[in-house]
């Protein structure tokens, strides 16, 4: 699931870097910025990907290496990044998936159930419908998440090629 095949959405302007924002969060809780937290933050924000904790752990240095981070620290720090507003998390097929939140626009997802790829998109039409429905119900929106499940173009092509009647 790592990554997204669609073109990444443009970042939004923010006043603090992710590291500065996290340092501010830690200070308000009386916690210190450790080298492991810095390393994880830099690793996660060095590229834009959707990931779960296991995928992140697989990309980290192994035990005994420089910058090694224990699994427990990874899980704890991911929760801190979510609490600090740096990452969003959501359940997908029984796993907790993470994505950038800080400095990234509101968006929705298409999820291919074959290749397990998440594709990001923005839609003014969907936002207008959301706002209209909320207004009709007297509802104040604080956010939303939409994940549309289906099969992507590439997997559809591959699936069609394998059908018996197509091989004749």
112 annotated binding-site participant = yes
| Shared-domain flag, residues 38 and 48 | yes
Higher pLDDT, 160 or 147: 147
Q: Can you give the CATH number for the domain in which 122 is found? A: 3.30.1490.190
Residue 144 assigned to a binding site: yes
Domain C-terminal end among 84, 104, 124: 104
Domain containing 163: what range? 106-168
pTM of the model: 0.82
pLDDT, one tens digit per residue, over 20-47 is 999 999 999 999 999 999 999 999 999 8
- Looking at 78, 104, 130, the residue that finishes a domain is 104
Residues 100, 110 share a domain? no
Task: Give the span between the Cα atoms of 168 and 163, in whole angstroms.
Answer: 10
Mean pLDDT for the chain overall: 90
Domain boundary (87, 104, 121) is at 104
Banded pLDDT at 10 (limits 50, 70, 90): confident
Is 1 contained in some domain?
no
108 has binding-site annotation: yes
Position 126 in a domain: yes
Tell me if 4 is assigned to some domain. no
- The reply to whether 63 falls in a domain is yes
Q: Provide DSSP, 31-70.
A: ----HHHHHHHHHHHTS---EEHHHHHHHSPPTTSTT---
Q: How far is CA 151 from CA 6, 113, 144, in A?
A: 14, 6, 23
Residue 3 has pLDDT above 80, yes or no: no
Q: Do the annotations mark residue 52 as ligand-binding?
A: no
Annotated binding residue 166 = no
Annotated binding residue at 54?
no
Q: What is the pLDDT of residue 94?
A: 92
On whether residue 86 sits in a domain, the answer given is yes
Q: 143: number of CA atoms within 13 Å, CB side?
A: 7
16 assigned to some structural domain: yes
Q: What pairing do the DSSP bridges indicate for beta strands 108-112 and 147-150? A: parallel
């Amino acid at each position: 699931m790592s990554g997204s095949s669609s073109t990444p959405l443009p970042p939004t302007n923010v006043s603090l870097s992710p590291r500065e924002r996290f340092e501010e969060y830690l200070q308000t809780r009386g916690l210190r910025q450790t080298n492991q937290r810095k390393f994880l933050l830099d690793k996660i924000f060095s590229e834009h990907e959707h990931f779960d904790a296991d995928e992140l752990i697989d990309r980290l240095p192994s035990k005994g290496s420089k910058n090694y981070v224990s699994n427990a620290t990874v899980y704890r720090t991911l929760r801190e990044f979510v609490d600090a507003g740096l990452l969003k998390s959501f359940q997908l097929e029984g796993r907790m998936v993470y994505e950038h939140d800080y400095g990234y626009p509101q968006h929705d997802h298409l999820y291919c159930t074959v290749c397990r790829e998440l594709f990001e998109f923005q839609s003014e039409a969907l936002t207008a419908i959301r706002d209209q429905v909320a207004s009709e119900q007297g509802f104040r929106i604080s956010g939303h998440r939409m994940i549309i499940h289906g099969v992507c173009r590439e997997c559809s092509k591959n699936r069609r090629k394998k059908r018996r009647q197509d091989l004749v």
